[in-house]
Amino acid sequence: MAVTINTLRDYKQKGEAFSVLTSYDATFAQIVSEAGVDVILIGDSLGMVLQGHDSTLPVTMDQMVYHVSSVAKGNRGSLIMADMPFMTYGTTEAALENAAELMRAGAHMVKLEGTDWMKDTIHALSERGVPVCAHLGLTPQFVNKFGGYKVQGRDEKHAELMIEHASELVAAGADAILLECVPAPLAARITQAVQAPVIGIGAGADTDGQVLVVHDMLGMVTGRKPRFVKDFLAESGSIKGAIEAYVAAVRDRSFPAEEHTFKA
């Protein structure tokens, strides 16, 4: 049966962890979907892993639409989540127009990076039938404001602000939250605080779901390997085996382990 936002809500209610993995083309989408990954993310990480940029900022709507439509052709029942590229949701009007393009290309949900300033936009999208995932913590589109790729929410003031923002965005209509590079105790507090499913990357084992970039979990890392990445191909010996091992490790919460987690 196809995965929907209701499936993710059920997982949260039952306390069962679900898996999310990026894909950017039809072949990977089919393998990932058939391996039992619940959500395929067409991340704007494609600007870095496919295009070789040093950030996600150069990714365009046309490029995202191309990759979303490729993934949709290979998908076999996973929920398709598409990133809205940098500055394509700066106003509510732009967000509605651009989200519609991604949904027409085959997305079931869009992901936006930001905090409380997105409330009205999320409300407008949600009211018009577009499920939204709000990405908080280390939001890579803000790399120039953060001055680098750094763990977020380390002190209590920022941690409380992040909890407040997550709650406000869910109240505005967000159907899921994604937390990137935040200390595990904070991610656990946010997961408890909101009713919507929470997906983590570098956020510890207590979120409702886990996400990785497919290149990273296949050991295709060109620079320094981030702490939260595990190479599943090294143990499995095949791409299909690696993805199945990831799904199983997320499900039984053996991934992420302590060594993949930021404590504070």
Which of 16, 180, 258, 259 does the annotation list as catalytic?
A: 180
Binding to ligand KIV by CB under 6 A, coded x per residue (else -) over 158-187, reads: --------------------x-x-------
Q: Nearer to ligand KIV by C-beta: 43 or 106?
A: 43
Those residues with Cβ within 8 angstroms of residue 264's Cβ, 6 or more apart along the chain or in another chain: 154, 183, 185
For residue 153, give both structure tokens.
């929410």
For residue 150, give both structure tokens.
């750094």
Those residues with Cβ within 8 angstroms of residue 69's Cβ, 6 or more apart along the chain or in another chain: 105, 106
Stretch in the footprint of ligand KIV (CB under 6 A) among 37-45, 122-130, 163-171, 218-226:
37-45
The closest alpha carbon to 21, from 45, 42, 49, 48, belongs to 42
Those residues with Cβ within 8 angstroms of residue 261's Cβ, 6 or more apart along the chain or in another chain: 184, 202, 204, 205, 227, 228
Residues in binding contact with ligand KIV, number by CB under 6 A: 11
Rounded-to-integer distance, Cα 249 and Cα 175, Å: 24
For residue 228, give both structure tokens.
């939260």
201 is an interface residue for ligand KIV by CB under 6 A: yes
Shortest reach from residue 144's CB to ligand KIV, in Å: 16
Report which residue's Cβ sits closest to ligand KIV.
Answer: 43
Strands (E), 1-46: 18-22, 39-42
213 is an interface residue for ligand KIV by CB under 6 A: yes
Binding to ligand KIV by CB under 6 A, coded x per residue (else -) over 43-72, reads: xxx---------------------------
Say whether 34 is catalytic.
Answer: no
Q: Nearer to ligand KIV by C-beta: 199 or 242?
A: 199
Shortest reach from residue 229's CB to ligand KIV, in Å: 10
- Please give the residue ranges that form the binding site for ligand KIV (CB under 6 A): 22, 41, 43-45, 83, 178, 180, 201, 211, 213
Catalytic residue numbers read: 180
